[in-house]
Amino acid sequence: MELKESVIKKIQMAISLYELGKDNFKISMDVKSKAVGIILLQDAVEIFLSAICEHLNLEMSGQENFYKYIDKIEKAKEYPLPLKKQMIILNKQRVNIKHFCILPDIEECKYFDNDVKLFFSELSLRFLNKDIDSISLVDLIDNKNLRRYLKKAESGLEKCRYKDCQINCRKALYMIFEEPYDIRYVEEESNLDVLFSFHQDKRGYQEEIDKKVFNPIDFIEVDQKKIKNELIEMGIEYLTFKNLMILTPKMYYYKEKNKWVIMEDFLNIREYNRENAYYCLKNSVNIILKIQRYKNKAKWSREGGSVKAISGIQANVYKKASKKSNIEHILKSTLEYSFLIEFKIKSLDDDSYFYSIAGDESSKGFGYLGISGYLCEDDLSKEFIKKFNSSTN
C-alpha cells in the first residue's frame, strides 16, 4: 500500500521532533536538556503512532492519546508492538516532567533516543513496508535537485540497481561539496571567484587551465581541509564523508549542458552492492539534513550586488583605498564600462570613501576582469554615487 501524503507529513514531523529530541541527549550530564528531549521524543512517538493508525485505515475519533493509539494498532494486528515497554516508560517520564516537574534520573533515560529510533524502524518495516530512513528523511530535504537525486537513489536501492543508487548519492553530494570548487569558467554560469583566483583575466586563467586540466575530473579542486573543518563544525563525522567518496565514483557536471561525466576507475575497484548502496543512501541523506538544519539555524547576510553599466565617467582607479597609492587605470568618459561594485570603505589616510570595483570595458564582456581597484567617492558625481549605492543596475 502506497503511503498517503498526509501520512508522510506526519512521519516527517515525527522524525523532525525525534532529531530535535536526540540533540538534547548529546550532553550526557545535563538532566534539564534530557528532560526537554524526553518531551520531544514522546511527542514524536505519539505522532508516529498516529501516522501508523492512519495508514492502516483505523477508525479515529480525534480524541486519541498515546495508549489509545497503541491499543488500536494491537487490536488490528493482534500482536503486541515492539519496544512497547520502553515507550510506556518514556511516556511516564514525560508525564512526570510536564505535569509534576519531576526531572528524570539520567541512568534511567540515557537510551531513550536509541529506543525511539529503533521503535520507528521496527514499526516502519512491519506496517509501512519501508525502511524509515528511505521513507521520510529524503522528503525532508528542501533543495529540489538534491531531493530528486536521492529519490532516484532510493528507487535504485528498492529495485536492486545498486550502482544507480550509489551514483545518484554522489550526484547529490557533488552539488554540495564539489561543485563550489569547480574551476571551469563559463560566462553566466560560473562564480566570479573562478577568475579572481587566476590572475583576474581570461588569458591567465586559460594558461593555468592548460597546465593543470587533463580530463573533466581535474576541473574540481576540492579543499579537503576546509571541508573537514566545516563538517566538524556541523557535527558531521568526517570519516563517514570520506567513506561516501570512496564508495561512489568521481564525476563532473557540465552545468550549461546538464550533462554528467562519470569516471570508471580501473585501479580502485568499488563494489556496487546492497550493503554499500544502503550505506551511501542513509548517510548521504543524514549528512545533507544535518547541513540543512545547520544552515537554517545560522544567520546569513542577504546576497546583493549586480553588474552595473557605467558610461560618461572620468576618474582614476587606485590600487588601494588611498589617493596616495598607484593609479591602476584611468576611466574615460568616452567609453562604457561594466563593473561589479563590491563594497564601500573609508580611506586608509583621510575621511574620504572609496568603492572597490572589478570589471572592464563593456565591449570586452564582463567575464574579462581587466580593471580592478578603488574609485574615490570625491571624484564621482552625485549621479554616480547614487548608482553605486543602489542595489539595482
In order, the DSSP letters of 140-195 are G---HHHHHHHHHHHHHHHTT-HHHHHHHHHHHHHHHHTGGGB----TTTS-THHH
**Lowest model confidence (mean pLDDT) among 133-137, 231-235, 241-245, 337-341:** 133-137
Number of alpha carbons in the 13 Å side-chain half-sphere of residue 147: 11
Whether 32 and 117 share a structural domain? yes
The helix or strand, by DSSP H or E, that contains position 352, with its residue range, turns out to be none
Whether 349 and 291 share a structural domain? no
Q: Is there a domain that residue 357 lies in?
A: yes
Whether 273 and 350 share a structural domain? no
Last residue of some domain: 269, 297, 325? Answer: 297
Is 353 or 369 the better-scoring residue by pLDDT?
Answer: 353
Q: Is there a domain that residue 340 lies in?
A: yes
Whether 155 and 288 share a structural domain? yes
Whether 144 and 128 share a structural domain? no
Whether 255 and 361 share a structural domain? no
Whether 272 and 171 share a structural domain? yes
Q: Is there a domain that residue 191 lies in?
A: no
Q: Is there a domain that residue 214 lies in?
A: no
Whether 146 and 241 share a structural domain? yes
Q: pLDDT tens digits, residue range 152-161? A: 998 999 899 9
pLDDT at 243 over 70: yes
Tally helices (H) and strands (E) across the chain: 15, 8
Whether 275 and 382 share a structural domain? no
pLDDT of residue 365: 63
Domain with 255, as residue range(s), is 140-182+220-297
Residues 9-22 have a mean pLDDT of 90
- Residues of the chain above pLDDT 90, percent: 60
Contact criterion met (CB below 8 Å) for 59 and 71:
no
Q: What is the DSSP letter of 3?
A: P
Q: pLDDT tens digits, residue range 258-293? A: 999 999 999 888 999 999 999 999 899 989 989 998
Which CB contacts under 8 angstroms, 24+ apart, belong to 200-204?
200/358, 200/369, 200/370, 200/372, 201/368, 201/369, 201/370, 202/367, 202/368
Whether 243 and 373 share a structural domain? no
Residues 10-23 have a mean pLDDT of 90
pTM, two decimals, is: 0.60
**C-alpha cell, 305:** 550586488
Give the orientation angle of helix 84-100 with respect to helix 112-123, to 10 degrees.
130
pLDDT at 218 over 70: yes
Q: Is there a domain that residue 380 lies in?
A: yes
pLDDT of residue 195: 55
Q: Is there a domain that residue 125 lies in?
A: yes
CATH code assigned at 266: 1.20.120
Q: Is there a domain that residue 209 lies in?
A: no
Q: Is there a domain that residue 229 lies in?
A: yes
Average pLDDT of the chain is 88
Q: pLDDT tens digits, residue range 89-121? A: 999 999 999 898 899 888 888 889 999 999 999
Last residue of some domain: 132, 149, 168? Answer: 132
- Angle in degrees, CA 284, 290, 292, rounded to 5: 100
Number of alpha carbons in the 13 Å side-chain half-sphere of residue 270: 21
Last residue of some domain: 113, 132, 151? Answer: 132
Whether 45 and 79 share a structural domain? yes
pLDDT of residue 146: 96
Contact criterion met (CB below 8 Å) for 175 and 169:
no
Distance CA 128, CA 135 (A): 9
Distance CA 115, CA 95 (A): 18
Domains held by the chain: number: 3
Whether 145 and 272 share a structural domain? yes
